Amino acid sequence: QVQLVESGGGLVQTGGSLSLSCLASGRTFNSYPMGWFRQAPGTEREFVAFISRSGSITYYADSVKGRFTISRDNAKNTVYLQMNSLKPEDTAVYYCATRPRYYSANYDGPGTYDYWGQGTQVTVSS
């Protein structure tokens, strides 16, 4: 079993920045590729970013590319999501999740991730 705890969400103005953290415990953190997803009220859960086990490979949704950066520190069992130039459209609950290694390179499917955190609320005001 893997436990994931997100933190760092909050209220920020348009154009501002937030940094989210996802702390993992339970199984070996380095064994898991990781992803960030988000879900706004009345919408489907949306892929945000992916990072490989070592951190050498990353992928981003087009909507956040150039503004968000995913990273990880395996020594601290933590994945980060740095969010810059925030827009009201970024308002959502943000979730981190683990992804088994045997899945393909279609990283945007929520169904290919197994363990999920409880989420942290990000609200961008204008």
Give residue 28's pLDDT: 67
Token pair 């050498």: residue: 56
Give residue 29's pLDDT: 61
Tokens of 29: 């953190």
Give residue 16's pLDDT: 98
Confidence of residue 104 (pLDDT cuts 50, 70, 90): confident
Q: Does the pLDDT at position 30 exceed 90?
A: no
- What is the per-residue pLDDT across 77-91, written as a single tens digit (0 to 9) for each? 999 999 999 999 999
Nearest residue to 122 (alpha-carbon basis) of 49, 20, 35: 20
Please give the mean pLDDT across all residues of the chain: 94
